[in-house]
């Protein structure tokens, strides 16, 4: 069994990895432990950000020289002209590189370190279409809702993770399948959102699937099915189908509630619906959602997944969405509950208000 196979369906069982030997215990504690010390790490760095060059270099030196670990980095990061300077030459010789969509490193990496903002965690998720190694995200970007670690103390924090002293939260993902009608042969074929239709595959989404009206000035008009039953037709700018993790992203900006990542659910949020009664809803994680273009729609629709892989949806096409069996194990700074509320307070300023003053004895009489 590969990393995290059927984890979402077997959350009350210990999950083990034959490659690195780590496992996650009962979800009540969700502690990361290792059966044997991790040997390899993937570093995801925000590209074209000069402020990250020094932290990236320090981290690589620390992992290769002090921890004797194998470090994987995407080739386009190493090919950055800013890293081609003399001080990086000796370091580059100790790093293994890979190319997105070409090299499979899913069985090579024990855990992941992200340097940047929330986008680095989303990108790390996109690299693994099945099991995802544990992810440790450092806040070196702008918002930082999903990046709880500060780089100032990276050596002690990384050491704790390597020693297995860390809490983990399992962030559910959505498994998305796009069915494109073959208009030449009048048949339906399954295409991949990653390989431009070359073969069949599912796409894993951490935040949200967005279906919108694209460049058209007309309302989006799409049908929404749940477990095969038509539940509504969305007439507006579009609809967002999000995970609990994604509920604090685009969905909350569109008026949705915020859901803790430990809650097994899928959120459906309309974007500027032309209806006063169309409110966001939460459905169980086990349902299957399907979105198609309505037969009387005036224009095509567009779909994007975690802000990427955007493409047009025409008549006869469909988007099927279910909860994935492959969540993202995100390493916590403290624990899943405290980290989430800390992010709400620090990043979104949740419930920030000037305190009401108390009444004096004279005022109470009135």
Task: Tell me the per-residue pLDDT of 277-312, one tens digit each, with 9 for 90 and over.
Answer: 999 999 999 999 999 999 999 999 999 999 999 999
Instruction: Please state, in angstroms and rounded to a whole number, the distance separating the CA atoms of residues 4 and 32.
Output: 13
Q: What pLDDT sits at residue 355? A: 87
Burial class (CB in 10 A: 0-12, 13-18, 19+), 226: middle
Q: What pLDDT sits at residue 136? A: 97
Say whether pLDDT at 7 is over 50: no
The mean pLDDT of 134-157, rounded to a whole number, is 93
Token match 């974007």: residue? 271
Q: Which residues pair with 197 in a beta bridge?
A: none
Query: Residues 318, 291: contact at Cβ < 8 Å?
Result: yes
Can 118 be counted among the known catalytic residues? yes
Say whether pLDDT at 134 is over 60: yes
110, 118, 212, 306: the catalytic one is 118
The mean pLDDT of 47-64, rounded to a whole number, is 89
Q: What pLDDT sits at residue 55? A: 93
DSSP-assigned letters across all residues of 115-158: EESHHHHHHHHHT-SS----EEEEE-SSS-TT--B-GGGHHHHH
CA angle 98, 104, 109 (to 5 degrees): 80
Q: Which residues pair with 31 in a beta bridge?
A: 167
Provide Rg for the chain, Cα atoms.
Answer: 23
Say whether pLDDT at 332 is over 70: yes
Instruction: Please state, in angstroms and rounded to a whole number, the distance separating the CA atoms of residues 305 and 176.
Output: 9
Q: Residue 265 belongs to what H/E stretch?
A: strand 265-271
Say whether pLDDT at 221 is over 60: yes
The mean pLDDT of 183-187, rounded to a whole number, is 54
Say whether pLDDT at 1 is over 60: no
Q: What pLDDT sits at residue 200? A: 44
Q: What pLDDT sits at residue 13? A: 39
Say whether pLDDT at 178 is over 80: yes
Q: What pLDDT sits at residue 19? A: 54
- Give the list of residues 6+ apart from residue 243 with CB closer than 8 angstroms, or none: 171, 172, 173, 174, 205, 206, 207, 208, 261, 266, 267
Q: What pLDDT sits at residue 28? A: 47
């Amino acid at each position: 069994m590969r990393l995290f196979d059927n984890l979402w369906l077997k959350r009350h069982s210990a999950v083990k990895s034959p490659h690195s030997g780590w496992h996650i215990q009962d979800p009540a504690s969700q502690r990361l432990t290792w059966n044997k010390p991790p040997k390899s790490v993937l570093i995801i760095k925000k590209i074209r950000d000069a402020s990250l060059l020094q932290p990236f270099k320090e981290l690589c030196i620390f992992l290769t020289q002090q921890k004797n670990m194998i470090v994987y980095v995407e080739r386009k990061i190493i090919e950055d002209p800013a890293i081609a300077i003399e001080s990086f030459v000796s370091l580059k010789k100790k790093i293994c590189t890979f190319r997105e969509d070409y090299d499979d490193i899913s069985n090579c990496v024990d855990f992941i370190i992200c340097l940047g903002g929330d986008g680095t965690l989303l990108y790390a998720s996109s690299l693994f279409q099945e099991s995802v190694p544990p992810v440790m995200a450092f806040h070196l970007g702008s918002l930082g809702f999903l990046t709880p670690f500060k780089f100032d103390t990276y050596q002690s924090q990384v050491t704790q993770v390597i020693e297995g002293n860390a809490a983990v939260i399992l962030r559910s993902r959505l498994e998305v399948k796009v069915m494109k009608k073959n208009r030449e042969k009048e048949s339906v074929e399954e295409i991949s959102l990653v390989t431009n239709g070359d073969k069949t595959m599912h796409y894993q989404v951490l935040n949200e699937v967005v279906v919108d009206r694209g460049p058209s000035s007309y309302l989006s008009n799409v049908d929404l099915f749940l477990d095969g039953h038509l539940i509504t037709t969305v007439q507006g700018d579009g609809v967002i189908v999000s995970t609990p993790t994604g509920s604090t992203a685009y969905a909350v900006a569109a008026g949705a509630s915020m859901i803790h990542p430990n809650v097994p659910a899928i959120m459906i949020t309309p974007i500027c619906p032309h209806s006063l009664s169309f409110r966001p809803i939460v459905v169980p994680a086990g349902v299957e959602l399907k979105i198609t273009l309505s037969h009387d729609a005036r224009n095509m629709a567009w779909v994007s997944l975690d802000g990427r892989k955007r493409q047009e949806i025409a008549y006869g096409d469909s988007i099927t969405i279910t909860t994935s069996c492959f969540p993202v194990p995100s390493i916590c700074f403290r624990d899943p509950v405290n980290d989430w509320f800390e992010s709400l307070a620090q990043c979104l300023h949740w419930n920030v208000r000037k305190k009401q003053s108390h009444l004096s004895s004279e005022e109470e009489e009135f």
